[in-house]
């Protein structure tokens, strides 16, 4: 393992060590160092083993050991922030408590900040994409915007999963009082000195408060992600409604043109009849052409208007039922309730209520 070691004063050392030598030195089992990309917090032989996906750490009362830290964002945090936090120079609220409290809080703070940063990156991108898609003036949807929204939605789902796993990991510890006691390493190594903190609260209660704090932060973060998910779903509904509205307009226009074609074709039969190679006395009159043409256009127009009127009557939405503004119910008989409702702006609720026995 490529390791980075931090002591109580924030001093840092780097070294490599084989897995067999490492777990023998720490008094652990080989399975304890079987680090996978999972999230868990466990105690073994007065050691705290924290797995935060790619972040793998072993905490003792004297030092913090980071294993396989070859990650760009992780190295930046290790070199610039973690050492000062462990030395009590940062903004950790557990700086007056034993070393393992500072180490646990620093790791939890880093992880919740990383999750918050992912949400802060996704949120403006999603809002900008939704604002461009929900515009009612657009007759079609930009496929590039939909592709961006699909990618952001997938990233949001991954973020929700990571936050849920983080929250459930902390919740499992909060439900086990014995595990909280085991996380207080200094309490077991030197109980006379570390039995109580300066505020008179037992170290187990301090650890529980610390975990509950980050549990609440994870819960708030998950609620923000859920609200963003609901906004995406609502925006998709609005997009579908806009597309359906434009589709209905096109269908209505198509229906109107079809009815117009039908009207012209219906009275065009007159012209077809005169265009046949049949002789009659009507074609000799020069006024018949204008008379037949006028009847064709006038009849087609009248039929088309009648069809449009029929279409409008059947497509208009029905009017909502009339609801009276003031409801009054008066029963003068004894033993009943008399209710008078007033909808004046300066009052709220019932105007008067009289209950007789």
Instruction: Please tell me which residue, 347 or 197, carries the higher pLDDT value.
Output: 197
- Tracing tokens 């604002």 back to the chain, one arrives at 131
Q: Are 68 and 62 in contact (CB under 8 A)?
A: no
In this predicted structure, what is the pLDDT of residue 220? 94
In this predicted structure, what is the pLDDT of residue 260? 78
Q: Are 17 and 26 in contact (CB under 8 A)?
A: no
Look at residues 75, 68, 112, 53 and name the one whose alpha carbon lies nearest to residue 83: 75
Residue 342 binned pLDDT confidence (cut-offs 50, 70, 90): very low
pLDDT tens digits for 221-248?
A: 999 999 999 988 888 787 777 777 778 8
pLDDT tens digits for 172-193?
A: 998 888 888 888 877 766 655 5
Strand order in the sheet with 337-340: 328-329, 337-340, 352-355
Catalogue all structural domains in the chain, each as residue range(s) with its CATH number: 1-82 (2.40.128.330), 247-313 (no CATH)
Coil/strand/helix, residue 357: coil
* Span 280-292, average pLDDT: 72
A 10 A CB-CB count for 88 gives: 15
Please name every residue paired with 5 in a beta bridge, in sequence order, or none if there are none: 13, 65
Query: Of 18-32, 67-81, 324-338, which gets the smallest average pLDDT?
Result: 324-338
Look at residues 344, 351, 337, 258 and name the one whose alpha carbon lies nearest to residue 304: 258
In this predicted structure, what is the pLDDT of residue 350? 39
Please name every residue paired with 247 in a beta bridge, in sequence order, or none if there are none: none
Please name every residue paired with 116 in a beta bridge, in sequence order, or none if there are none: none
DSSP string, 130-141: HHHHS-TT-SS-
Query: Of 123-127, 147-151, 266-270, which gets the smallest average pLDDT?
Result: 266-270
pLDDT at 11 over 80: yes
Q: How far apart are CA 106 and CA 91, in angstroms?
A: 10
Mean pLDDT for all residues in the chain: 75
In this predicted structure, what is the pLDDT of residue 225? 92
């Amino acid at each position: 393992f490529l390791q980075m070691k931090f002591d109580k004063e924030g001093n840092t050392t780097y070294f490599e060590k084989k897995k067999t030598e490492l777990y023998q030195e720490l008094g652990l089992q080989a399975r304890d160092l079987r680090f996978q990309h999972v999230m868990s917090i466990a105690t073994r032989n007065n050691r705290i083993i924290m797995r935060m996906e790619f972040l793998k750490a072993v905490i003792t009362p004297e030092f913090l050991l980071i294993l396989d830290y070859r990650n760009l964002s992780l190295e930046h945090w290790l070199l610039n922030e973690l050492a000062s936090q462990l030395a009590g120079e940062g903004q950790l609220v557990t700086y007056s408590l034993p070393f393992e409290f500072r180490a646990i809080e620093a790791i939890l703070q880093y992880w919740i900040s990383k999750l918050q940063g992912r949400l802060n990156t996704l949120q403006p991108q999603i809002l900008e994409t939704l604002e461009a898609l929900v515009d009612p003036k657009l007759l079609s949807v930009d496929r590039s915007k939909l592709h961006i929204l699909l990618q952001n939605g997938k990233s949001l789902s991954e973020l929700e999963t990571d936050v849920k796993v983080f929250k459930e990991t902390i919740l499992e510890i909060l439900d086990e009082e014995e595990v909280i006691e085991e996380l207080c390493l200094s309490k077991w190594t030197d109980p006379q000195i570390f039995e109580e903190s300066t505020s008179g609260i037992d170290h187990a209660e301090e650890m529980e408060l610390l975990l509950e704090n980050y549990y609440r932060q994870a819960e708030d973060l998950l609620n923000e992600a859920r609200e963003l998910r609901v906004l995406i779903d609502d925006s998709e509904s609005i997009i579908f409604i806009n597309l359906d509205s434009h589709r209905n307009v096109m269908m209505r226009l198509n229906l109107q043109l079809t009815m117009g074609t039908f009207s012209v074709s219906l009275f065009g039969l007159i012209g077809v009849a005169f265009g046949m190679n049949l002789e009659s006395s009507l074609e000799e009159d020069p006024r018949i052409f204008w008379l037949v043409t006028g009847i064709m256009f006038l009849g087609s127009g009248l039929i088309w208007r009648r069809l449009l009127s029929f279409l409008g009557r059947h497509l208009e939405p029905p009017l909502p039922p009339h609801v009276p503004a003031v409801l009054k119910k008066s029963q003068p008989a004894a033993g009943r309730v008399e209710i008078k409702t007033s909808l004046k702006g300066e009052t709220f609720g019932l105007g008067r209520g009289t209950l007789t026995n």
